[in-house]
């Protein structure tokens, strides 16, 4: 890495080299002339394939499978700085790092994702049951610890719980419920397990048609749905989730999804909202506060799912907006439509596929080609499950390698069925 203490030419700095940051920094390096310095900052060199956190607990993935070297996926000509961001001061165009270094930028892209905050719910991270009977699976450590707990589990009340929205990959806790249903069946103890899905939403999911389909699927699997549950605390003595209204939900094993917020440094900077997310124009991804700052992925306040697919689709628009502004002074004009799609693992070797954007909720039909598919939207199929598994190869082999992806960035309406 060059000495970054003095800025001699034009410099763009990308914070975070996870899904969105890696895609964007590679695109920037490819599109910008050599005199532009392209810098990527991340706190470590371990790039995790987070959808794999679902498969580790149920023994389908070895933990080591999800971890790759970040540097391996960064194109030559990118300066990688391994340090934690401590603060961004947009008035100075500077990023302050844990190493004591301050990096000045002409343009900044924020792609530092979310973090889980189990410490913000009483009795969760500070309780005696944390990582003994109360687990999470949104981190590497959490999913590995849950794997051991499931191996040892012999029956009782299992609660899969969501603390509050937004969370990244909002279908992941549902998927985990379906996968552990399968897991307990294979272990031949399903009849000894009372499985409940507890959510603050008024149904299984936030979008009406998808919520109905996913709710039916929970029913089908004899997984009880407990909607509208606003957690106040976990009572570690009685092993119960306690709601604000005093309702109590007992458990022998609780798999929670803690509050998701932006990263700590955002709270210490002048760039975030009260949840630590970066306010951006929802179509151009330009910061609403500083015109030379953009944000992408889970770190933003975009009103769509926090998902890798969103990072990918929006990157196709963002690169045009950034490069146009940086090289020609053009105002950002490419509009991201909020397109998200998620393969929802439904167990028994099948998955559902959801496809939606800011304006259109998930509908039935086919994907990616109208009437042809081959994937079925909102219906369970083996092919959808194969699609979910194949995505891992596409992630490392295409998206993180800056290779052209054939899927269109905008949501396609043709071939979808509307219902009242
Ligand atoms: C269990 C699970 C299942 C999922 N399944 C799917 C799925 O099936 N499909 C899908 O599309 N999405 C899925 N996701 C969501 C997907 O992984 C994320 O939406 C995606 O990774 C977001 O990309 P990002 O770049 O915004 O954030 P990340 O990929 O999380 O990258 C953020 C980066 O910022 C770095 N960083 C953070 N803070 C700092 C700091 N202070 N200093 C320096 N670096 C920092 C981190 O180290 C990290 O590398 C899943 C997520 C989970 C947890």
Domain membership of residue 333 (yes or no) is: no
* Residue 233 and residue 128 share a domain: yes
Residue 258: what pLDDT?
98
CA of 388 to the centre of ligand 1 (A): 17
Nearest ligand 1 atom, CA 21:
25
* Residue 357 and residue 266 share a domain: no
Nearest ligand 1 atom, CA 342:
9
* Residue 237 and residue 137 share a domain: yes
Tokens at 419, concatenated? 């219902």
Domain membership of residue 335 (yes or no) is: no
Helical (H) or strand (E) element with 387: helix 382-397
Domain membership of residue 59 (yes or no) is: yes
Where does ligand 1 bind, in terms of residues with CB under 6 Å? 16-21, 41-43, 50-51, 53-54, 84-85, 111-113, 137-138, 168-169, 172, 263, 265, 297-299, 306-309, 311, 342-343
* Residue 367 and residue 312 share a domain: no
Q: Which amino acid residue places its CA nearest to atom 41 of ligand 1?
A: 85
DSSP 277: P
Strands 416-417 and 364-369: antiparallel
Domain membership of residue 2 (yes or no) is: no
Domain membership of residue 377 (yes or no) is: yes
Query: 300 - beta bridge partners?
Result: 278
Nearest ligand 1 atom, CA 112:
34
Q: Which amino acid residue places its CA nearest to atom 49 of ligand 1?
A: 18
Query: 242 - beta bridge partners?
Result: 233, 248
* Residue 110 and residue 36 share a domain: yes
Our count of domains for the chain comes to 3
Helix axes 172-186, 208-220, angle to 10 degrees: 10
Which pTM value belongs to this model? 0.96
DSSP 412: P
Q: Which amino acid residue places its CA nearest to atom 53 of ligand 1?
A: 138
Distance of CA 245 to the CA centre of its chain: 30
* CA-based R_g, the chain, Å: 22
Boundary residue ending a domain (213, 235, 260): 260
CATH code of the domain in which 151 resides = 3.50.50.60
* Residue 320 and residue 225 share a domain: no
Boundary residue ending a domain (235, 260, 285): 260
Most distant pair of Cα atoms in the chain: their distance: 67
* Residue 183 and residue 228 share a domain: yes
CA of 50 to the centre of ligand 1 (A): 7
Expressed as residue numbers, the domain containing 99 is 10-114+262-328
CA of 314 to the centre of ligand 1 (A): 15
CA of 49 to the centre of ligand 1 (A): 8
Q: Which amino acid residue places its CA nearest to atom 19 of ligand 1?
A: 307
Strands (E) located in 230-372 = 231-235, 240-243, 248-250, 253-257, 260-261, 293-295, 340-347, 350-356, 364-369
Q: Which of 113, 266, 339 to mutate to test the pocket of ligand 1 (most atoms within 8 A of CB)?
A: 113
**Tokens 């009977």 belong to residue:** 133
CA of 331 to the centre of ligand 1 (A): 29
CA distances from 36 to 39, 78, 93, 291 (A): 10, 10, 16, 19
Is the CB of residue 12 less than 8 Å from the CB of residue 105? yes
Domain membership of residue 184 (yes or no) is: yes
* Residue 400 and residue 308 share a domain: no
* Residue 63 and residue 17 share a domain: yes
Helix axes 308-328, 19-31, angle to 10 degrees: 30
Query: 324 - beta bridge partners?
Result: none
- Read out DSSP for 79-102? EEEES-EEEEETTTTEEEETTS-E
Is the CB of residue 1 less than 8 Å from the CB of residue 79? yes
Q: Which amino acid residue places its CA nearest to atom 7 of ligand 1?
A: 51
Domain membership of residue 379 (yes or no) is: yes
Helical (H) or strand (E) element with 395: helix 382-397
Q: Which amino acid residue places its CA nearest to atom 2 of ligand 1?
A: 51
Per-residue pLDDT of the chain (420 residues; tens, 9 = 90+): 557 878 888 999 999 999 999 999 999 999 999 999 999 999 999 999 999 999 999 999 999 999 999 999 999 999 999 999 999 999 999 999 999 999 999 999 999 999 999 999 999 999 999 999 999 999 999 999 999 999 999 999 999 999 999 999 999 999 999 999 999 999 999 999 999 999 999 999 988 888 888 999 999 999 999 999 999 999 999 999 999 999 999 999 999 999 999 999 999 998 999 999 999 999 999 999 999 999 999 999 999 999 999 999 999 999 999 999 999 999 999 999 999 988 999 999 999 988 899 998 887 777 777 776 777 787 888 988 998 898 999 999 999 999 987 778 888 776 666 665
Residue 131: what pLDDT?
98
Q: Which of 51, 61, 98, 394 to mutate to test the pocket of ligand 1 (most atoms within 8 A of CB)?
A: 51
Q: Which of 14, 15, 17, 19 to mutate to test the pocket of ligand 1 (most atoms within 8 A of CB)?
A: 19
Domain membership of residue 357 (yes or no) is: yes
Helical (H) or strand (E) element with 212: helix 208-220
- Read out DSSP for 108-147? EEE----EE-GGGSBTSTTSTTBTTTEE--SSHHHHHHHH
* Residue 411 and residue 390 share a domain: yes
* Residue 109 and residue 35 share a domain: yes
CA distances from 33 to 27, 37, 241, 374 (A): 12, 9, 56, 40
Boundary residue ending a domain (260, 295, 319): 260
């Amino acid at each position: 890495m060059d000495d970054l203490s003095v800025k001699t030419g034009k410099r763009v700095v990308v914070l975070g080299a996870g899904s969105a940051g890696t895609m964007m920094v590679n695109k920037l390096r490819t599109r910008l002339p050599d005199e532009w310095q392209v810098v990527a900052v991340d706190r470590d060199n371990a790039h995790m394939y987070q959808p794999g956190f679902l498969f580790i607990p149920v023994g389908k993935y070895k933990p080591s499978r999800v971890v790759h070297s970040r540097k391996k996926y960064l194109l030559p000509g990118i300066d990688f700085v391994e340090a934690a961001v401590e603060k961004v001061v947009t008035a100075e165009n500077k990023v302050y790092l844990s190493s004591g270094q301050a990096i000045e930028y002409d343009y900044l892209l924020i792609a530092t994702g979310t973090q889980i905050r189990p410490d913000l719910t009483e009795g969760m991270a500070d309780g005696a049951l944390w990582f003994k009977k109360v687990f999470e699976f949104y981190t590497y450590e959490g999913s590995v610890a849950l794997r051991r707990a499931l191996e040892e589990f012999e029956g009782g009340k299992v609660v899969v719980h969501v603390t509050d929205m937004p969370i990244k990959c909002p279908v992941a806790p549902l998927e985990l419920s379906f996968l552990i249903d399968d897991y307990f069946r294979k272990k031949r103890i399903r009849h000894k397990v009372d499985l409940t899905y507890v959510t603050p939403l008024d149904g299984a999911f936030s979008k009406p048609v998808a919520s109905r389909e996913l709710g039916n699927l929970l029913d089908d699997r004899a997984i009880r749905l407990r909607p509208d549950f606003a957690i106040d605390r976990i009572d570690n003595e009685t092993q119960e989730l306690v709601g604000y209204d005093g309702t109590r939900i007992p458990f022998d094993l609780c798999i929670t999804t803690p509050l998701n917020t932006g990263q700590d440094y955002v709270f210490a900077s002048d760039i975030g909202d009260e949840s630590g997310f970066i306010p951006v124009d929802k179509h151009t991804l330009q910061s609403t506060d500083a015109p030379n700052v953009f944000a992408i992925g889970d770190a933003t306040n975009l009103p769509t799912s926090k998902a890798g697919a969103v990072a990918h689709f929006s990157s196709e628009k963002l690169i045009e907006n950034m490069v146009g502004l940086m090289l020609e002074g053009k105002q950002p004009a490419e509009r991201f439509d909020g397109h998200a799609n998620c393969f929802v693992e439904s167990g028994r070797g099948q998955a559902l596929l959801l496809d939606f954007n800011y304006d259109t909720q998930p509908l039935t039909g086919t994907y990616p080609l109208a009437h042809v598919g081959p994937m079925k939207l909102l219906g369970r199929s083996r092919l959808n499950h194969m699609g979910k598994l194949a995505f891992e190869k596409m992630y490392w082999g295409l998206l993180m390698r800056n290779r052209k992806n054939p899927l269109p960035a905008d949501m396609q309406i043709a071939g979808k069925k509307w219902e009242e």
